[in-house]
Structure 1
Amino acid sequence: MLKQSLQQKLLQKLSPLQIQVIKLLEIPAMQLEQRIKQELEENPVLELERPADDPDSDEPADRNEPDQDKNETTIDDYLQNDDIPAYRLQERNYSKDDKHEDIPFSVGSSFHENLISQLGLQILTEKQQVIAEYIIGNIDEDGYLRRQIEEIVDDMAFAQNIEVTEEEAFEVLRVVQNFDPPGVAARDLQECLLLQMVRKDMSDPVIETAYNILKHHFEEFTRKHYDKILKRLHLEDEDLKEAMDEILHLNPKPGSSYSNPLTKTVAHIIPDFILDMDGDEFNLELNQRNIPELRISATYAEMLQEYSSNKKNQSKDQKEAVMFVKQKLDSAKWFIDAIRQRQNTLLLVMNAILKYQNEYFKEGDEMRLRPMILKDIAEMTGLDISTISRVSNSKYIQTHFGIFPLKYFFSEGMQTDSGEEVSTREIKKILEECIAGENKRKPLTDDQLADILKEKSYNIARRTVAKYREQLNIPVARLRKEL
């Protein structure tokens, strides 16, 4: 049975200005510069403010931005997790969630060109040449071949109409694996390390031991089960240490040494705030370097006023021109107001954080950080929690003791046995100090760390210790063990 009814709903609709402010709050100083440049290019009504030292200039402001100032990998990188996912130790050592990019001659092109140049020195049949080029085209920027041989065979059959057997493909793969850098075209980490090891002097007992560890005891190696390796290979501690030194000098990413630096993006942190100390007083300001002042173009404003005063005699084209200019004027006003509101909101939030963490900002002593959550700053400023989140995300502050992300100052709290409220960051700091000073032959377990914290009046469960340790990217005791 159909039924009709009337309902009243109160909906909140954001204005164009509010939308602009929200979007601008989310971006840091470096992106703001680009965002302003984009707006200047898209909106002819918006222009740069006239230089302060030339107030009488009749020349239009320059629409361009001011000139900007131009200003040993170890195997342990792969062994930081307690349980390395199985797929990382297999031929197809990536998961469906990993980011994949088409490799052929795109990323790190100099690396692939180097492989192609080495290919020209080989005596190959025309068919082998085609297979080799296809294999090289599927090597990623780290130097690995991420596709199975049977898939390459299928690809060449369907895409290039070339019948290739797996044996033929394997034969060519072995040729490419002899190219420089050593370890290139490996299908997993184990193969990569073995390819490098076999190029060394295998008559050397240390090299032979290292090879046997990688070949026959790779899982124990990745888990740092040194006692098992010692027992199974009948080694002395010193023999194992020498073999491990050889392994740890291998390169788990052979392609990285050949990558073109022009294809790599270097991330520079540009602080959004600058904090200075003037005696005992804080001096906080926004970093406005390379952020130009904006204004509405007087030419377009006068044009709109002239058209608006003569509406009766306007043609259709003139009316459309008026609408266009009016829309651009409104958009420019909203953008300028949004920039201003962004600045005010950023300063309001940062001043509140400064007040809340006053003792910390004096010296930068991490132990003086108070527990602080988004809600605390929201209540101090009268702003919504989502606004505080947008401001603190991807923003940095430069202090007299370093540059820090705003998120660094937020942490949960807990009470000690004496009832004092402390930041979880303080507890993490103690954990780091305990682990840094431990005996690496017998690293502290999570249970032992929990006992140490309890002695210091921090009553924390073992699973909480494990959580904090993982947040600090510190592996479990077994993986921290050294010979």
Structure 2
Amino acid sequence: MLRQSQQQKLLQKMSPQLIQFLKLLRVPTIEMEQRIKEEMEINPALVYESDAATSSSSENIFEDDNRSEDSGEDFQEEVSLQDDHADQVDIDDYLRSENDDGGYAYNNENDKNPYSYLKNDVDFHESLLEQMQMLSLSEKEEKIAEQIIGSINDDGYLSRSITAIVDDLAFSQNVSTTEEEVKSIIQRIQQFDPPGIAAYTLQECLIIQLKRIGKPRETIAIAISMLEKHYEAFVKKHFDRIKRSLHINDVQFREAMDMILKLNPKPGAAFENPTAVNKTYIIPDFFVDNNDGKIEVMLNSKNAPELRISPDFREMLNDFGRTDKKDKKNAEAITFIKQKLESAQWFINSIKQRQATLLQTMNTIVDLQKDFFLTGDETTLKPMILKDVAELTNLDISTVSRVANSKYVQTQFGTYSLKHFFSEKITLDSGKEVTNKEIKSILAEIIEGEDKDHPLRDEDLTDILLKKGYNISRRTVAKYREQLMIPVARLRKS
């Protein structure tokens, strides 16, 4: 039986203004200028302060003394981020749709590449196409070569199988070819620079590079044999087995190893991808200075210029309000202008609120980690989690998380991610509280000083830390070791 019933629910809603503020809060300074430009492109009511013909920051921008009743209702100058709005958004829908990777746990997320390359202004694929022109190829072979080059990824490896390349040529280029023809041209492309390109595997890539090296011949032959015949043992660092199989001594083995370790595992990375964002270029969001023992915090406003409401738009609204024509077109124009003005004011208020929240959070972090900002000594960092900052600032934990995510501070001791100052609290047997950073530092020192012929296992590291008073589990030791990007004992063996 169908029944009708009434039900009351208390739901938490987020206004569009608050959503806009939260999204702006996550944007780092390096992206803020672009975000403002995008907003100004879609809203002509926004202008830079220097471009505004008149400046009256204290007056009500929506106030019109001569406005008729038909021109519309009054607007407030300041729109609170918590005000109700007709178009409410469910908070669950927003949280589901937002890609909030700030989180509450702060681990070592540095995207560090262990290999360092010289960046080149020439596009990688353009360089390969230029080298292709130096070959004596027929029209058909050129199409095959172009298809192969297009199948090479940014690291320099072929991403399509030979069979797939043959099919691609047949369907997209109407070129009939064989796997033997494609393989022959791949081998010719593998002679291009940088050495090692157009390989399918790391093993093949390294062997190609070795074959391009001139001398010493004996060492090259040993290195190639190591990779061709004993690659699995090489990867697993079963070096004794390799030496026995190849009948070589320690000197020959080390010379071959040194040659292999100098090879480039990602030959395509020698060229900078022009479409990729340079993640290593950092613009600090904050500046912290030590002025005779007094710490001063400043917000980097370089990429967040002062914005104002366009006086032309305000005058335009006044003109429409004074006109005697009260037709539908006039009403639509007034509605459009008001929407743009209101949207512009919301955006300006969101930026101001963002700046205030950033400063409030950063000042609290500085107060909690004052010893570090005075001395630069990592050991003075105190245990601090998001909740500690949230309680002192009366902000939500998620708000603090958004502030800390992708933000950087420049100090006299260097530039740091805000995540660097957050760490877990660990209580020692003595009752003393230390940060997990201190344990990681000690762990790194222990591994650095270990006997490389007999590296320490995680169980051994746990016992050593326990003797030093750090009572943590083997699983935690393994987690910290991985965060330090230190491999397991077997792979650390010399």
Distance 1:326 1:51, change over 3 A: closer
Q: Distance in 1 between matches of 2:159 and 2:310?
A: 55
Match of 2:351 in 1: 339
Match of 2:30 in 1: 30
Aligned partner letter, 2:362: M
Q: TM-score, normalised on structure 2? A: 0.81
Q: 2:222 aligns with which of 185, 205, 209?
A: 209
CA RMSD of aligned residues (A): 2.7
Residues 103-142 of structure 1 aligned to structure 2 (within 5 Å)? 110-142=123-155
Q: Distance in 2 between matches of 1:184 and 1:241?
A: 26
Alignment of 1:288 onto 2:301: yes
How far off is 1:460 after superposition? 1.4
Match of 1:390 in 2: 402
Match of 1:200 in 2: 213
Match of 2:109 in 1: none
Stretch moving more, 200-209 or 366-375:
200-209
Match of 1:189 in 2: 202
Q: Distance in 1 between matches of 2:331 and 2:366?
A: 52
Q: 2:172 aligns with which of 147, 150, 159?
A: 159
Q: Distance in 2 between matches of 1:356 and 1:203?
A: 59
Q: Distance in 2 between matches of 1:123 and 1:392?
A: 57
How far off is 1:374 after superposition? 1.2
Q: 1:271 aligns with which of 267, 274, 284?
A: 284
Any conservation in 1 of the 2:48–2:306 contact (CA below 8 Å)? yes
Q: Distance in 2 between matches of 1:299 and 1:217?
A: 75
How far off is 1:262 after superposition? 4.7
What is the aligned-residue identity percentage? 53
Aligned partner letter, 1:337: N
Residues 72-471 of structure 1 aligned to structure 2 (within 5 Å)? 110-201=123-214, 204-257=217-270, 259=271, 262=274, 265-267=277-279, 268-308=281-321, 313-471=325-483
Distance 1:470 1:300, change over 3 A: same
Could you report, residue by residue, the CA deviation over 1:446-471 in whole angstroms, capped at 9, with x for unpaired residues? 22221221121001122211110101
Any conservation in 1 of the 2:190–2:199 contact (CA below 8 Å)? yes
Structure 2 residue runs without a partner (length 5+): 57-112
Distance 1:322 1:427, change over 3 A: same
Q: Distance in 1 between matches of 2:254 and 2:492?
A: 15
Could you report, residue by residue, the CA deviation over 1:270-315 in whole angstroms, capped at 9, with x for unpaired residues? 11111111222211121112421111223322332443355x6423
Q: Distance in 1 between matches of 2:16 and 2:129?
A: 54
Distance 1:442 1:335, change over 3 A: same
Structure 1 residue runs without a partner (length 5+): 57-74, 79-106
How far off is 1:111 after superposition? 3.4
Q: Distance in 2 between matches of 1:182 and 1:262?
A: 21
Any conservation in 2 of the 1:202–1:208 contact (CA below 8 Å)? no
Aligned partner letter, 1:184: I
Could you report, residue by residue, the CA deviation over 1:227-274 in whole angstroms, capped at 9, with x for unpaired residues? 2212222222111110111112222222333x2575554342111111
Any conservation in 2 of the 1:76–1:248 contact (CA below 8 Å)? no
Q: Distance in 2 between matches of 1:169 and 1:360?
A: 60
Any conservation in 1 of the 2:154–2:273 contact (CA below 8 Å)? no
Distance 1:201 1:404, change over 3 A: closer
Q: TM-score, normalised on structure 1? A: 0.83
Q: Distance in 2 between matches of 1:477 and 1:350?
A: 40
What's the secondary structure of 2:282's corresponding residue? coil
How far off is 1:394 after superposition? 0.8
Q: Distance in 1 between matches of 2:426 and 2:175?
A: 66
Aligned partner letter, 1:217: H
How far off is 1:147 after superposition? 1.3
How far off is 1:76 after superposition? 7.2
Q: Distance in 2 between matches of 1:129 and 1:319?
A: 63
What's the secondary structure of 1:198's corresponding residue? helix
